[in-house]
Structure 1
Amino acid sequence: MYQPALAGKEKALGLDHTSTLGTVNSIGNLYKDQGKPKEAEEMYQRALAGYEKALGPDHMSTLNIVNNLSLLFSNQGKLKEAEAMYQRALAGYMKALGPDHISTLNTINNLGNLYYDQGKLKAAGKMYQRSLAGYEKALGPDHTCTLNTVNNLGNLYSDQGKPKEAKAMYQRALAGYEKALGPVHARTRRIAEMLNALSVVDRK
């Protein structure tokens, strides 16, 4: 469905029309979901170049493609490239939307995840704390985005050898997930398992 739509738009509107580029981005998303990162990157890079030309580097459509590339690179383990894209997306979202917008906060949290994967735990903690404060302000303390960051902090503290702080984060996340998702949801059960593991360590 996408391919004939893309061909039609290219013929009727041109290669660099924003509607054409939107379809290019959609095909990139499809390839990413199909596990075809090379093809997805080609589509994203084409869409990015087109949006930069048509709308400028700081337009939301451009920044959304930058964010898509960030996630793609991160999933591929291309952490250096992912960090560059995240930083660009963050700067753009900060300028266009402000520090408390969900897109900004999501990018901050994703940067925290990236730093965590790189073993930069101190930097990851700063990003998680920053995104947590923003999520609490924008969405409230019991929203799943807030709770996901609380869980991230629990994992971070556990890796840093801070069981007391980790336990406090996991308990908060567990209570929130039980309320928001129910006691048998996979996230809820996973947090309960982490808490049990910490309790076993404490008893030892």
Structure 2
Amino acid sequence: MTRTVAAGASALLLLVTLACGQQTWEAAMQAGESALQRGQYEQAEKIFSAAVPKAEEFGLHDRRVAVTLAHLAQAYSAQGKFVEAEPVYLEALKIYQDVHGETHLDVAAMLNNLGVLHRKHGQYADAQRLLTRALSIKEKLLGPDHPEVALALSNLAAMYLAQGDGEQAGALFARALAVREKHLGPDHPDVAKNLDDYASALRKVGRVAEAEGLERRAGAIRGKPKS
């Protein structure tokens, strides 16, 4: 039996045992996350869907319900099922807010995911509102130069870039780049990605020479052998 077939058989067995109430929530989450990592998004969707009732056994407003819903929404989003993903993210967000209050990293994570979802739909006003709020929470809780803040900056920058606002996007990508270089070092793959994103923003405002310099840096990072 090949590894792929074995993984599929294991996932099918998990679904059966979940349906019979014999599998734990923890085991279901582990299996679903494994399916996500393998890119088996439809399988992950089925596992997380079956895991939601297991999580609800802890209480409808238990944090584990929100965790399960967030993973289910992630599986939907990975398949391009944005209409299905949004209400699930919203439900997870409501539970996190009930459990933690308005200012918590779990809340920021759901705001971020919803913001990215709206950006992909071209709903930029909603995306800006959600991503700005997520950034504000992370800055308040983690400080201005945390890697999680860099991620929030990049997501907000990508929203501005999608609208064609290279100036706003460039300023945010530059901030994110400084944080990543500080924490990850100058040769990290995330730094290379940030350099390319920043270059795209600079090209939007006609700063082509600067953009080309950033792109060369990114290319040099990717060309270095892994240690």
Do the structures match in fold with TM over 0.5? yes
Q: Match of 1:191?
A: none
Amino acid at match of 1:146: V
Q: Match of 1:113?
A: 158
Which consecutive residues of structure 1, in runs of 5 or more, have no partner in the other structure? Answer: 182-204
Give the conservation status (yes or no) of the 8 Å contact 1:15–1:21.
no
Of 35, 49, 52, 1:6 maps to: 52
Give the conservation status (yes or no) of the 8 Å contact 1:105–1:135.
yes
Which consecutive residues of structure 2, in runs of 5 or more, have no partner in the other structure? Answer: 1-46
Q: Match of 1:18?
A: 63
Instruction: Count how many residue pairs are aligned between Structure 1 and Structure 2.
Output: 180
Of 194, 204, 208, 1:159 maps to: 204
Question: What is the TM-score normalised by the length of structure 1?
Answer: 0.83
Q: Match of 1:187?
A: none
Q: Which moved more, 1:172-181 or 1:37-46?
A: 172-181
Equivalent position SS for 1:142: coil
Deviations 1:121-143 (A, max 9, x none): 21111101111111111111111
Give the 5 Å matches for 1:142-181: 142-179=187-224
Q: Match of 1:62?
A: 107
Question: Shift in Å at residue 159 of structure 1?
Answer: 2.8
Which runs of 4 or more aligned residues in structure 1 lie more than 6 Å from their structure 2 counterparts after TM superposition?
A: none
Q: State the Cα RMSD in Å.
A: 1.5
- Matched residues in 2 for 1:55 and 1:180: separation? 44
- Matched residues in 2 for 1:59 and 1:179: separation? 38
Q: Match of 1:126?
A: 171
Q: Match of 2:42?
A: none
Amino acid at match of 2:120: N
Amino acid at match of 1:5: A
- Matched residues in 1 for 2:163 and 2:73: separation? 26
Question: Shift in Å at residue 7 of structure 1?
Answer: 1.3
Give the conservation status (yes or no) of the 8 Å contact 1:144–1:180.
no
Of 93, 103, 107, 1:48 maps to: 93
Question: Shift in Å at residue 180 of structure 1?
Answer: 5.5
- 1:123–1:13: structure 2 CA closer, same or farther, 3 Å change rule? same
- Matched residues in 2 for 1:21 and 1:95: separation? 23
Question: Shift in Å at residue 4 of structure 1?
Answer: 2.9
Question: Shift in Å at residue 98 of structure 1?
Answer: 1.3
Give the conservation status (yes or no) of the 8 Å contact 2:167–2:201.
no
Kindly indicate whether residue 142 of structure 2 is the aligned counterpart of residue 97 of structure 1: yes
- Matched residues in 2 for 1:39 and 1:163: separation? 40
Equivalent position SS for 2:102: coil
